[in-house]
Amino acid sequence: MTQKLQAVRGMNDVLPADAAAWQHLYAVAAEVFGAYGYGELRLPVVERTELFKRAVGEVTDVVEKEMYSFQDRGGENLSLRPELTAGVVRAGIEHGLLYNQQQRVWCTGPVFRYERPQAGRYRQFHQLDVEAFGIATPDIDVEVIAIAAALWRRLGVSGFTLQLNSLGTPEARMQYRAALVEYLSRYESSLDEDSKRRLGTNPLRVLDSKVPATREIVVGAPRLLDHLDAVSAAHFEAVQRGLGDLGIDYTINQRLVRGLDYYTHTVFEWTTNQLGAQDAVCAGGRYDGLVEQLGGPATPGIGFGLGIERLIALIALQQAAVPGNASHVYFCRFGAQAEAAASKLAEQLRNQQPRLRLTLNAGGGGLKSQLKRADNSGARYALILGDDEAAQSVVQVKSLRGEGDPFLCPWAELPAQLVRLLGL
């Protein structure tokens, strides 16, 4: 028996009926990012595995457990990208974009992690990434966070909480790490197995454990903010002032450490309580050492990654306005003369009105069946052309949604009539 073909578990199709929200999100995001001076960068989906080991960290869950890695026919070790920032930095170094200059870029596309699929968490998911390089001052931290806030406003979604923390300089972080390990070691026997493993590899990750018993232990742990040096504290205070000046509310969350090794100073997450367990929609922070770590010049950087599937779910949940992608007009045609005339007329209409979405009937059929197709297409109006109308150079315009009586329209007047009826 032939096995039924279907999508790989955790990797989902986006059907035409759902694509309008995706198209809307991409269009709005491109406008918002462009308004702040960020240019689009497009990256390959596959990178050398070594890139992610060096950038993300060999002892992180992403590298140890979640990457799709393989050896190609040439013997190279490659991986489907599990995140976008490492690829952005690699491209910046390779093409000389990060030498003594500022760069503001954004990118988008699918990323891959072998995780247990559940609502809001998939094995192939999509991200929007915003990254800024060459600026060490806290004003760029504020700008990057403000870009996300602007995107929420433009999309008409709300109910976010901005969680904010500082990891300080690498030196301050190492001092804190030592104090944290000393504290957690006293309770090692009571920690969950993942936290025990992280105690020797990435102890800061214990702070965001979801295991209740471990969370109780973490309550009494040393505070990261108490271990910031003067430089780190001043940077964090300036970020808070900048957000206050823009009226962006935030909550300091000292358990927020982010899951990747490369973060320093400011880290943040935009979360919502409307999507269940997968509450983080957008997250990021500063990574001043990453460019140098990957072989480039010492270059400060900051950015965020935004989960598109989660944001789309929030748009649907809040019923935010999304322009439709259904046809405006369905062109019915029957008769040899009308078939040819309608084809030419449809092309002329599309050329004259680039925003017009017009579906031309194909596959024949009588008027009744064509009108049924027109109605199913979601179009607001049907254009009806038979041989009699073609001989007179007119076409019948019929509302499919009860917006007025049918009428005959000369071909020459049709573009203007459609603009009037559809508000194009």
DSSP characters over 334-365: ESHHHHHHHHHHHHHHHHH-TT--EEEP-S--
User: Residue 59: its pLDDT value, please?
Assistant: 59
pTM, 2 dp:
0.88
pLDDT beyond 90 at 319: no
Which listed CATH number (3.10.450.630, 2.60.40.10, 3.40.50.700, 3.40.50.800) goes with 329-422? Answer: 3.40.50.800
pLDDT beyond 80 at 7: yes
Q: How large is the angle between the packed helices 138-155 and 230-245, nearest 10 degrees?
A: 30
Q: What is the mean pLDDT of residues 171-177?
A: 83
H or E element in which residue 383 lies: strand 381-386
- What percent of the chain is modeled with pLDDT above 70? 97
| Dmax (CA) of the chain | 92
pLDDT beyond 90 at 404: no
pLDDT beyond 90 at 393: yes
pLDDT beyond 80 at 259: no
Q: What is the mean pLDDT of residues 137-146?
A: 97
Per DSSP, 2 falls in state P
pLDDT beyond 80 at 248: yes
- Residue 396 is which amino acid? Q
Q: Is 396 exposed, middle or buried (0-12, 13-18, 19+ CB in 10 A)?
A: middle
pLDDT beyond 70 at 260: no
pLDDT beyond 80 at 88: yes
Least confident span in 216-220, 357-361, 409-413: 216-220
User: Residue 210: its pLDDT value, please?
Assistant: 79
User: Residue 152: its pLDDT value, please?
Assistant: 96
Give CA–CA dist 89/95, Å, rounded.
10
| Topology agreement, domain 16-169+229-317 and domain 329-422 | no
Question: Which pLDDT band, with edges at 50, 70 and 90, does 51 fall under?
Answer: very high
pLDDT beyond 80 at 277: no
Token look-up 């957690």 returns: 184
Q: What is the mean pLDDT of residues 202-216?
A: 81
Q: What is the mean pLDDT of residues 233-251?
A: 96
- The first and second tokens of residue 37, run together, are 């001076």
Question: Which pLDDT band, with edges at 50, 70 and 90, does 62 fall under?
Answer: confident
Question: Which pLDDT band, with edges at 50, 70 and 90, does 56 fall under?
Answer: confident
* Sequence ranges of the domains in the chain: 16-169+229-317, 329-422
Q: What is the mean pLDDT of residues 205-209?
A: 78
Question: Which pLDDT band, with edges at 50, 70 and 90, does 390 fall under?
Answer: very high
Backbone region of residue 167 per phi and psi (left: phi > 0; alpha: psi in -120 to 50; beta: other values): alpha
Mean pLDDT score across all residues of the chain: 90
User: Residue 340: its pLDDT value, please?
Assistant: 93
Question: Which pLDDT band, with edges at 50, 70 and 90, does 133 fall under?
Answer: very high
Q: What is the mean pLDDT of residues 117-145?
A: 93
Tens of pLDDT along 286-313?
Answer: 999 899 999 999 999 999 999 999 999 9
* Cβ proximity of 119 and 317 under 8 Å: no
pLDDT beyond 90 at 279: no
User: Residue 49: its pLDDT value, please?
Assistant: 93
Full strand arrangement of the beta sheet holding 46-48: 46-48, 77-80, 69-71
* Assigned fold of 16-169+229-317: BirA Bifunctional Protein; domain 2 (3.30.930)
User: Residue 2: its pLDDT value, please?
Assistant: 76
Token look-up 């040819």 returns: 340
- The first and second tokens of residue 366, run together, are 């009588």
Question: Which pLDDT band, with edges at 50, 70 and 90, does 55 fall under?
Answer: confident
* Letter string b/e over residues 42-57, b meaning 16 or more CB atoms within 10 A of that residue's CB: ebeebbebebbbbbbb
Q: What is the mean pLDDT of residues 150-173?
A: 92
User: Residue 1: its pLDDT value, please?
Assistant: 65
Q: Residues with Cβ < 8 Å from 243, sequence gap 6 or more?
A: 142, 145, 146, 162, 164, 249, 250
